[in-house]
Amino acid sequence: MRLIEMDKQGSEWVITAYLAGEPRMIGVVESGTKPHVVTGSLITGVPQDIVVKEHALLGDLDNPDDIEAQRKNIEFGPTKFLPRTMSIYQCGKKSNHAFNYGLGAKKWARINEVAEGEAIKVRKLYLKEAYPDLDAWWRTVQEQLKEDRTLHNCFGRKRIFRNRWDDELFKAAYAWNPQSTSVEIVNRAMVKFWQDERSEMQRAELLLHRHDSLTFQHPGEDNEVMSFIRYMTEHMEPTLTWEGREFVVGTSVKMGPNLGDMKPCRLSS
């Protein structure tokens, strides 16, 4: 018996890229590069290979003195700035998880326990230099709300936003399409799993559903399990369309004998 986790981790960032039509974000997605590495590089000016090297050295260190001591072992070259309490990679990761939906610098500083001045700099670099077209997308969302306070996600599902007309309403609106599309991908895949009558699918058991992932157990041999993963991946990766552009949100797969010993699993081509 093996456990199989199928995860849409990072799906909201991918979906946002296409909703916003942000060319640099789309380039990151379609090139297969790691968004946190690219973002860290764009907001600091440090080359991507150095971002990876620094993260391998620093990991999750958050003490400024320890970080400064370790950075003496790296040649960064010209930089826009370096975060004091985290690696460049972590700074990119925390930015990717926050600023797409309009989070302010003060709250980002409080959440990540950094100086407000540093948070202001990071947010500005993210929105003005890394991904400048996000601001235009926000304005588009606001214009849609002005018409009838209604938005539609990538599947055509609609939501009416009835709360007070303020920044909190806007932030909820920016987040709704990526978040609702992401969870609907998973929900639809779960329904297709129940409807799929192929033997490889029938022998699997769904154990856990979360916002962006499904976890199964399967008793089959290697060939049967890999067929299950292949079929389930097809269900998890529908082709989405937004303003004439088609895209697919990828799926990461892990497999193992228990939740504590799951390893990445790749389908053979």
**Amino acid identity, position 232:** M
Residue 233 included in any domain: no
- Does residue 227 lie in a domain region? no
Distance CA 118, CA 121 (A): 5
* Structural tokens at position 54: 């620094």
Question: Which pLDDT does position 261 carry in this prediction?
Answer: 87
Beta-bridge partner residues of 256: 3
How many Å apart are CA 66 and CA 62, to the nearest integer? Answer: 8
Q: DSSP letter for 125, please.
A: I
Neighbours of 104 (CB within 10 A): 15
Residue 127 lies in a domain: yes
102 within some domain? yes
User: Token pair for residue 99?
Assistant: 């600023």
With respect to residue 239, please indicate whether it lies within any of the assigned structural domains. no
Half-sphere exposure of 170 (CA within 13 A, CB side): 17
**Residue 268 has what pLDDT?**
62
Scan for tokens 């997605």, then name that residue.
Answer: 29
The answer to whether 44 and 91 are in contact (CB under 8 A) is yes
Q: What are the residues whose beta carbons fall under 8 Å from the beta carbon of 68, sequence distance 6 or more?
A: none
> What residues form DSSP beta bridges with 215?
5, 208
Tens digits of pLDDT across the chain (269 residues): 889 999 998 899 999 999 999 999 999 999 989 999 999 999 999 999 999 999 999 998 999 999 999 999 899 888 888 999 999 999 999 999 899 999 999 999 999 999 999 999 999 999 999 999 999 999 999 999 999 999 999 999 999 999 999 999 999 999 999 999 999 999 999 999 999 999 999 999 999 998 899 999 999 898 999 999 999 999 999 999 999 999 999 999 999 988 888 898 877 65
The reply to whether 149 falls in a domain is no
Instruction: Select from 34, 8, 156, 166 the least CA-distant residue to 102.
Output: 166
Number of domains forming the structure of the chain: 1
Tell me which residue range forms the domain holding 87: 23-132
29 in a structural domain: yes
Q: For residue 12, is it within any domain?
A: no
Both structure tokens of 65: 């003195």
Report how far residue 153's alpha carbon sits from residue 242's, in angstroms, rounded to the nearest whole number: 9
Q: How many helices (H) and strands (E) does the chain have?
A: 12, 9
Give the pLDDT score at 136: 96
Query: Which pTM value belongs to this model?
Result: 0.92
Q: What is the pLDDT of residue 260?
A: 85
Distance between CA atoms of 257 and 208, rounded to whole angstroms?
Answer: 15
